[in-house]
Structure formats: structure tokens, C-alpha cells
Amino acid sequence: MAKKTPLPTCAVCPVNVPERICRTEKGKAPSNCPSTRSIDIVKETLEILKDPEVMEAVRQASIQEGEGYGDKDKGYAHIRAIKPRIQETVEFAKKMKFKRICLIFCIGMRKEAQIIHEIFTVNGFETISVMCKAGAVSKEEIGLLREQQIDPGSFETMCNPILQALTANYHQSDLNVIFGLCVGHDALFLKYAKAYNTVLASKDRLLGHNPLAAIYQYDGYYRYLKTPL
């Protein structure tokens, strides 16, 4: 059995960003760099890109990335973001000639989901939307006790990301847009969904759906995250 390459740790790479091999042709790399140590995976990636559909998606995603910045003619130091994510989602879907979008959302963000549904529809997409509680399956069906529910005093339906995924699959969605699913439920949806998937926003109940707020305050109010939870 071939020896596996070292585990990559790009997030803590010791090489300065402008000098990294992934950024410049003659750059530097640590011993566990996936650009230099995972050659077989790099080759496999290039083989996958030979599929015309995959190549087109990769190409359009890169075009969309570039179009997300303005003032490029002034040099790299002056570029600035010019588009919100919802706009880029619509533009990418149009570039890919997608016809049907499925909005996968949480009941707690239903007002925002209604607006997003309207935005997709206004832009000419056949829009499907499937809420997390669809299926009306009791949490008792998955073995939860009443005290484990959000509201222990009443009947409570489970979030059903597998049903959301199978519904999107059944209706042959071209693009699934995930909006505000719970941690774990998003993972299950992605496991069972067959179409292209993108995330519009991640749920964070405490921080107004901005999970990075805790990261920005890592040295301050959220310093407790430096120790095991």
C-alpha cells in the first residue's frame, strides 16, 4: 500500500502569502504542501476537468470571481468588492444557463426566504423552495425525548434535510441554494443532494447569522474558544 502524503495544513502555512507556490510559479512550499506533495490528486483534478460540463462550471465560477471586483485597472492594491453574494448567485446561475433553482431554507428565516424566492423568480428562474420542517415528521420518530426538543411542552417536527435534498433531486433542480440550515442539517443536505449546491448564508442564532463575528472577537469576548469546549 502506497504511503500517504502528510496531512495538509494550508490554514497555518508558514510561508508568506506572496511567496507561496500556490500563488507564484517559483514559490516556496512546506513539506506537507498539497501543491507539491499531492501530485496524484493534482493529476486527478486535471482529468476531471476534461469533462466539458465540469470545465464549463469551473470556468464560469472563475469568471464570476473576477467580475466581483472593481477598479482592477488601477492595480491589485486598489481592487474592491462590488457585488453582494445574492447578486453573484444569480449571475453565476445565468452564466451556467440554469433554469430551475431550489431554495433550501430554515423556518426561522422564512421572511428572508420569501424575499430570496422573489429575487430568483424576478430574474427568470423557475424557483422551488423547500422549508426544513417539510414532511411533518415528529422528533419522536428519531428517538428524541421531549426535554431534548426546543419546546419540551408541545409536539415538535424535526428538521428534515434529507427530505429537502430528495425533493430537490425529484424536481431536478439545476442549482440548490442553501439558506440558514442548522449545523449538521446542512451537512446531511449536502450529502444527499445531487445538483450543484451553493450556500447563501449560514445560520448563527446568536450572532445574527454572522458566524465570523466570534472569529473576529477571538482575542476578546470569545477568547474562551482558545480552550477546549
CATH classification code of 84-229 = 3.40.50.1860
pLDDT digits over 104-118, tens only?
999 999 999 999 999
Boundaries of every domain in the chain: 33-83, 84-229
| HSE-CB for 212 with a 13 A CA cutoff | 1
pLDDT digits over 35-80, tens only?
999 999 999 999 999 999 999 999 999 999 999 999 999 999 999 9
The one-letter amino acid code at 63 reads I
Query: Does the global pTM surpass 0.85?
Result: yes
Among candidate residues 161, 96, 95, 88, the one with its CA nearest the CA of residue 119:
88
Phi, psi of 43 (to 5 degrees): -65, -40
- Pairwise CA distance, residues 109 & 199, whole Å: 14
